[in-house]
Structure 1
Amino acid sequence: MLIIKDILLQLLFIIVPVLLYKNVWLDQKKSKQLGIKSWPVILLSSLSVIFCMSFPIYTDSGMRFDLRSIPLIITILYGGYIPGIFTSVVMIGYRIYLGGDGIPVALIAFSVYSILPFFLVKRWYGLSFRKKLALTMLMGFIKESVAVMTTAILLFTKNLSLEAIYDRLVPIVNISYLYILTIGATVYLVEFIRESYMIRIQIERSEKLNLISELAASVAHEVRNPLTVVRGFVQLLREETNPKNYEYIKLVLTELDRAEWIISDYLNLAKPQGDVMSRVELTHIVSETTALMSSYAVMNGVEIVTRAEPGLHVISNPVKLKQALMNLMKNGIEAMTEGGSLHVTVEQANSSVVIVIRDEGEGISPEQIRQIGLPFYSTKEKGTGLGLMVTCRIIEAMQGTILFESELGKGTQVIIQLPAVH
């Protein structure tokens, strides 16, 4: 019964930090990317490691084990290099402080099982759930295999009988099964929490979009009709009015056109996106969009530089895709108030096609990036935010993803990823 109590304590020390993952680990300001805050990760992981080592599992033969490496591996994979290094230092330092004969085994095992997690840090979030689960269980198997073999070698050097060595290795093997199952269950729990959190964010965003769509459908048509009448009468007045008032009439027509443009964005938002899908060549779509935007770019002193691989196809609504690309190119051109180059790249990346639109403007802050795609948010003085909102919906309707990266003073980069069709 004592060994069951020790095992339950070890599981408690591992699971509690994971259950705090959503509320403590995740940076709420980076909810779209599910960023990780370093200091809570370091604190929780270090405490978890220390408690696991302070209250180990004791076997009937007097040997002791712990699952300290599980929170360490999880920290490296999900927290990154800095939390992983700090937690490793805490673990090694505390193990040396505890002393005993098992320090060489602990150091050898650490040097083996920590290599793969550090190697996978950059690509970890891009892996599928099955690959993550398989890799973590493989790490657990490697770690326990090294521990068993190292312990066996040390026992042989003590000139113990084979029976005595066998009796001591059996508990280690049994703990190894528990270790592999526990590390797999921990990764499963973390991924479940992450997926639930992402679904909640998407639901909240969908509710906002549906609210705006209903508002657009009910108001846009009613507002557009009187605007059309007003515009018509203003044009008639222009022919009969004093030439001194031409500038005023021109200003009125300009503002009416702007109101018409805003209403058109509302109507685009209310319409279902991607209703007619077909197989299209992406290079051709990008070339047509670039040609349409070239005159606007010249007016703003911007050069559009295009590099596209031929023969890349996606399932898309070509009209809607052009609209999305035009919105992004227009934003990039307007961001370069002093001119520059707008770089548009199309290339294959595994099973996806990636479109990158990069400008050389002033860039935007991380806080502004987090607000992109939300209703009525815009960095432009007269912007409504509906253009990017519509663009995000178009890309999502095509089963794609859109990511904004920016650095103040160095410009902004938009990365669109769409499923490739061979």
Structure 2
Amino acid sequence: MKDILVHLFIMTFPPHIYQIFMLTRYYKREKIRNRFLMGILMGFSGIFSISYPVMYLVPDFYWDLRGVPLLLAFMYGGYYGGFTALGMMLIFHGMMFPSFGVSDAILYAAGFVPVLLRARVFYQYPSRKKIALSLLYAGIGTAALLLWLSYIVSHHGFVWKDLLPQVSLLTVVQLLLPVLLILWFQHMLRHDQMSIEIQKAEKLQHLSDLAASVAHEIRNPLQVTRGYIQISQKEADEKLGRYLNIAIGELDQAEKIISEFLLFAKPELTETGIINIGDSLHQAVTMLEPYASMSGAVIRLSCEDDIFIEGDPSKLKQAFVNLIKNGIESTQTDGLIRIHGHIRKQKAVITITDNGSGMTKEEIQRLGAPFYTTKSRGTGLGLMVTTRLIDAMRGKMRFASEVGKGSEVMIIFPLSAKKRVSISGE
């Protein structure tokens, strides 16, 4: 039991180090070195397990837990982390133990199982699915070891009854240890993600206060300037009048930007109620069809009936207009914007897909950040405002894109509880 507790401590040490130094970058996934770090840490943990096996059951057969760090390396470090840990273990084993037994081959072969279980996308799975996959992996490895142990016992005259207590304990540890480590790792991920969200919210709050203050200070002199220009238009000749019209147009554009600043600073829902998603999408598409036609794009809308949410109709329409307009502007000739609304798992889901230029992973990660834009001419306020409005209506946005193929934004809202009750009662 003492050896098992020591191994448990060693297994939990690498994730703790990873959390301290690199966990925030794990979420950003900006560089491959984070996954290599996971592989190196888990590789050292596996080397310790090889050096100090948990238990020698019979001659030529010892039981260690190298498969557990190898599992975590593949599942949280992807292929880079997994093969890094596997390579470290193989090199160490070859240097320290030149004789390579069948049990060793089974242990290392089991390390490739997570690859077959799509290790590349494992970090995206929910906790329950991760635990299920870890149990499957641990079960396969443990079953292989038990079969080999049975072969040794039957051919060398050992008595199973003498080995049963140790084998039972090791089997339970082999199955449950990955589950415990995954639960702990998920807890660390959630804690770190909460810290990131809190920091982001604090930055947005400071920026909102600054935006509101600056917008109010600038709006007043702009309105005064516009008033004097309008007075001057009455006495201006034709040429000067054209210049003054241009000046008023630029002031109106500045006023629009200031209004977006204020909306970003205080995304208040002034008129909340039950909204039909189909109606809002139809209104947004109707507004943008002339703009799409001028840009050489076509909008195709399909939406299920009776999708109702709670929110501000005008603000929701504005959010849809901003997102559809972004899709139109990302396309070149023969642009196609597909919009689909449907209900999935008691949620209203709206997808807006375009066949535009697409975005890189780094660009997707920065979407919605203050003043970030992928356009050559733009302030980045449109998507910021849209994000704030959808958040205010308890919605979420998810982006997916591929360079050269296009982008997709998915908006998810909770269905209106009042409408669900009335529909179910019909």
The TM-score normalised by the length of structure 1 is 0.83
Looking at structure 2, the residues matched to 198 and 155 of structure 1 have their Cα atoms a distance apart, in angstroms, of: 49
Aligned match of 1:226? 221
The Cα shift of 1:202 comes to 0.8
Larger deviation: 328-337 or 31-40? 31-40
From 17, 38, 43, the equivalent of 1:41 is 38
From 305, 314, 318, the equivalent of 1:319 is 314
Looking at structure 2, the residues matched to 368 and 82 of structure 1 have their Cα atoms a distance apart, in angstroms, of: 23
Cα–Cα, structure 1 residues 75 and 32, in superposed 2: closer, same or farther, change >3 Å?
closer
From 14, 18, 37, the equivalent of 2:15 is 18
The Cα shift of 1:57 comes to 1.8
Aligned match of 1:205? 200
Cα–Cα, structure 1 residues 267 and 140, in superposed 2: closer, same or farther, change >3 Å?
same
The Cα shift of 1:286 comes to 1.6
Query: Is the contact made by 2:233 and 2:241 (CA closer than 8 Å) also made in structure 1?
Result: yes
Looking at structure 2, the residues matched to 288 and 316 of structure 1 have their Cα atoms a distance apart, in angstroms, of: 16
Q: Deviations over 1:296-328 (max 9, x none)?
A: 222333222223344444444332222211111
Looking at structure 2, the residues matched to 18 and 362 of structure 1 have their Cα atoms a distance apart, in angstroms, of: 39
The residue type paired with residue 11 of structure 1 is: L
Aligned match of 1:28? 25
The residue type paired with residue 56 of structure 1 is: P
Q: Residue 384 of structure 1 aligns to a residue in which SS? A: coil
Query: Is the contact made by 2:348 and 2:412 (CA closer than 8 Å) also made in structure 1?
Result: yes
From 374, 394, 415, the equivalent of 1:399 is 394
The residue type paired with residue 249 of structure 1 is: L
Query: Is the contact made by 1:27 and 1:35 (CA closer than 8 Å) also made in structure 2?
Result: no
Q: Residue 293 of structure 1 aligns to a residue in which SS? A: helix
Looking at structure 2, the residues matched to 176 and 334 of structure 1 have their Cα atoms a distance apart, in angstroms, of: 59
Determine whether 1:191 maps to 2:189: no
Query: Is the contact made by 1:77 and 1:118 (CA closer than 8 Å) also made in structure 2?
Result: no
Identity %: 31
Determine whether 1:129 maps to 2:127: yes
User: Residues 44-63 of structure 1: matches in 2 within 5 Å?
Assistant: 44-58=41-55
Determine whether 1:144 maps to 2:142: yes
Determine whether 1:182 maps to 2:177: yes
Query: Is the contact made by 1:27 and 1:36 (CA closer than 8 Å) also made in structure 2?
Result: no
Looking at structure 2, the residues matched to 260 and 191 of structure 1 have their Cα atoms a distance apart, in angstroms, of: 46
**Unaligned regions of 5+ residues in structure 1, if any?**
none
Aligned match of 1:261? 256
Q: Residue 372 of structure 2 aligns to a residue in which SS? A: coil
Aligned match of 1:418? 413
Determine whether 1:77 maps to 2:72: no
Larger deviation: 70-79 or 145-154? 145-154
The residue type paired with residue 183 of structure 1 is: P
Larger deviation: 322-331 or 21-30? 21-30
Query: Is the contact made by 2:36 and 2:77 (CA closer than 8 Å) also made in structure 1?
Result: no
The residue type paired with residue 237 of structure 2 is: N
Larger deviation: 303-312 or 126-135? 126-135
The Cα shift of 1:199 comes to 1.0
Cα–Cα, structure 1 residues 113 and 307, in superposed 2: closer, same or farther, change >3 Å?
farther
The Cα shift of 1:381 comes to 4.7
Q: Deviations over 1:363-395 (max 9, x none)?
A: 444443333222222334542222211211222
Looking at structure 2, the residues matched to 37 and 382 of structure 1 have their Cα atoms a distance apart, in angstroms, of: 35
The Cα shift of 1:24 comes to 5.7
Determine whether 1:374 maps to 2:372: no
Q: Residue 80 of structure 1 aligns to a residue in which SS? A: helix
RMSD across aligned positions (CA): 3.5
Q: Deviations over 1:210-240 (max 9, x none)?
A: 1122223334344333323322332232232
Aligned match of 2:424? none
Query: Is the contact made by 1:75 and 1:84 (CA closer than 8 Å) also made in structure 2?
Result: yes
Larger deviation: 313-322 or 83-92? 83-92
Cα–Cα, structure 1 residues 226 and 315, in superposed 2: closer, same or farther, change >3 Å?
same
Looking at structure 1, the residues matched to 239 and 319 of structure 2 have their Cα atoms a distance apart, in angstroms, of: 41
Larger deviation: 384-393 or 44-53? 44-53
The Cα shift of 1:53 comes to 1.2
Query: Is the contact made by 1:343 and 1:359 (CA closer than 8 Å) also made in structure 2?
Result: yes
The Cα shift of 1:180 comes to 3.4
Cα–Cα, structure 1 residues 156 and 407, in superposed 2: closer, same or farther, change >3 Å?
same
Looking at structure 2, the residues matched to 79 and 32 of structure 1 have their Cα atoms a distance apart, in angstroms, of: 11
Query: Is the contact made by 2:79 and 2:120 (CA closer than 8 Å) also made in structure 1?
Result: no
Q: Residue 184 of structure 1 aligns to a residue in which SS? A: helix
Aligned match of 1:155? 153
Query: Is the contact made by 2:272 and 2:310 (CA closer than 8 Å) also made in structure 1?
Result: yes
Q: Residue 307 of structure 1 aligns to a residue in which SS? A: strand
Larger deviation: 374-383 or 115-124? 115-124
Aligned match of 2:297? 302
Q: Deviations over 1:232-289 (max 9, x none)?
A: 3322322320111233212211211111111111221232445765443323322221
Query: Is the contact made by 1:36 and 1:79 (CA closer than 8 Å) also made in structure 2?
Result: no
The residue type paired with residue 224 of structure 1 is: R
Determine whether 1:214 maps to 2:209: yes
**Unaligned regions of 5+ residues in structure 2, if any?**
421-426
Q: Residue 234 of structure 2 aligns to a residue in which SS? A: helix
Instruction: Count the aligned residue pairs.
Output: 415
Looking at structure 1, the residues matched to 49 and 215 of structure 2 have their Cα atoms a distance apart, in angstroms, of: 62
Q: Residue 201 of structure 1 aligns to a residue in which SS? A: helix
Q: Deviations over 1:112-144 (max 9, x none)?
A: 686467325466445433453455346445543
The Cα shift of 1:111 comes to 5.8
Q: Deviations over 1:59-81 (max 9, x none)?
A: 58776321111112222222334
Query: Is the contact made by 1:73 and 1:117 (CA closer than 8 Å) also made in structure 2?
Result: no
The residue type paired with residue 211 of structure 1 is: H
Aligned match of 2:116? 118
